[in-house]
Structures are given as C-alpha cells and as structure tokens.
Amino acid sequence: MPSGFHIDRRPPILEITIDRGKANVLDAATSRELGEVFLGFRDDPANRVAIVTGAGERFFCAGWDLNAAAGGERFDDDFGTGGFGGFQSLADLNKPVICAVNGMAVGGGFEMLLAADLVVAVEDAIFFMPEPLVGVIPDTGTVRLSRMIPDLIAREMLLTGKRLNAAEAAQWGLVNRVVPREELMDTAREMANRIVEAAPLAIAAILDLLRRTEGLPVPAAFETMQHAESYLRMVDSEDAVEGTTAFTEKRAPVWKGR
C-alpha cells in the first residue's frame, strides 16, 4: 500500500488524496510512489482524468518535507519519473490532471498546480513559494510562473514569497474556479465528467499539441500540429467518424479510443 496518499479508483476518473503529516508534505520516496501511480494512470485506458487533492482543511500540499531534508535528503534527489508530486514532468502524459486545492498550496505544492491542466480552489486557499528562505529555488515556479502570469507579479512571488489568496490566483489565471469548501470535490468531478464526454484521442491530441507548440509562432505551430502523431491518429480514428455520425443521428457517441 502507498504511504502518504490515498487512491480512489472510480474509472474513468482517478482520485489521489495527499495525506502525509499535518501539512501534506512530500519526501522523495513518497514522490516516487506518486510517480508510479501517474505512470499507471498514463498507460491505463480505463482512466481518463486524474484529480489531486489534499487531506484535511488546512493544506493542499506544503511542498518538500524539510524534516527529510534535515535528515540528509537533497534538493536534487530523485523525486521520481514524474518529478515532484508525480506528474509535473511525466513524459507523454496526454490525460488531464485537475488539482482540487483544499487549503494552502506552498512551494512544491504550488508548483504542482502550475503543471496541472485545471485548478479549482476553496475560497480560503493560499498560494506561495518560500524556497529562497530555506536556501533553494522553486524549479517549476522559476521556469513556468512568468510564462503564466505577468512577469513582475511572478518576480515578486519568486523573490519575496508574496502570497496570493484564491481570488488573486483566479484573477491572474492560476485558478479556474473558486468555490465554497463543500463544493470543491463536486466541482472537480463535474469538470472531469465534462472531459470524459469528449473523445479520448481528441483530448490527448489537444494536450500533446499545447505542449509541442508552446512558444512557437503561429505558422510553425500549425506545421507542428499537422505532422504530430497525436493529431494524425485522431484525424484517422474510428472515434472521429463516430462523433460526426452520432451528431447526425442525434445520439450520444460511443467512444472506443481508437
């Protein structure tokens, strides 16, 4: 059994709840275990969307376990094939990950949100990165944050540990929806269920192409898209025929993922 998190398999949705100490911190071993979970999620056609949340009401995830660090674990240790939290750098993860933020998202916990596809948060959620105060840097935050929000706001968060509340995070486009606590998981599941109504290969192609074309000029992005395996597989799929047929026949499509 995994330590530090719980898994609820309800295909086509996989739910993962971080539950490790009062602040839901992760050490390298737990992160590697999460990486194995996400590898299985990536490769299992029965699961199409993952939801990640935290146990309790105070913390989503407070990042790296500093007690493990004090015991000798290094900042650059092996946190697993998917990086910290299991999915941030997992290759070819063309399935959506939704973060349901139930409390404070700190350091590596906040960085997990930057790698997610959708984020829903409770009204009293807090977001910040304190890594420089303990002598390290937020890897993902340094690389991704200024690409997602205005550069000066990103710099203030990175350099000073500035905190954002849920409303501010939504204002800067880091959160899709802010909801009352009792609506958090229902909202995340609603998002997941809307996704699974769509064709699996279409969703996979969108995520793959978003990643491949990031930062490219529009002509180069179209060129990349038209030659991408995920795009060609989607265009030539049985599901592409099924979708148009179901529409004309006024019925729900039956997706096969091929």
Residues 50, 56, 60: CA angle, nearest 5 degrees: 50
**Rounded average pLDDT over 10-29:** 94
For 40-59, how does the pLDDT look when each residue is reduced to its tens digit (9 = 90+)? 999 999 999 999 999 999 99
Instruction: Tell me how far apart the alpha carbons of residues 163 and 1 are, in angstroms, rounded to a whole number.
Output: 35
The pLDDT of residue 1 is above 70 = no
The radius of gyration of the chain from alpha carbons, rounded to an integer in Å, stands at 19
For 115-150, how does the pLDDT look when each residue is reduced to its tens digit (9 = 90+)? 999 999 999 999 999 989 888 888 889 999 999 999
Show me where the domains of the chain are located. Answer: 5-196, 200-248
SS3 203: helix
For residue 219, cis peptide bond before it (omega within 30 degrees of 0): no
SS3 147: helix
5-196 CATH pick, 3.40.225.10, 2.60.34.30, 2.60.40.10, 3.90.226.10? 3.90.226.10
Whether 131 is a known active-site residue: answer yes
131, 197, 229, 242: which is the annotated catalytic residue? 131
pLDDT at 176: 98
15, 57, 111, 229: which is the annotated catalytic residue? 111
- What pTM did the predictor assign? 0.94
Residues 13, 96, 170: CA angle, nearest 5 degrees: 110
For 174-220, how does the pLDDT look when each residue is reduced to its tens digit (9 = 90+)? 999 999 999 999 999 999 999 999 999 999 999 999 999 998 999 99
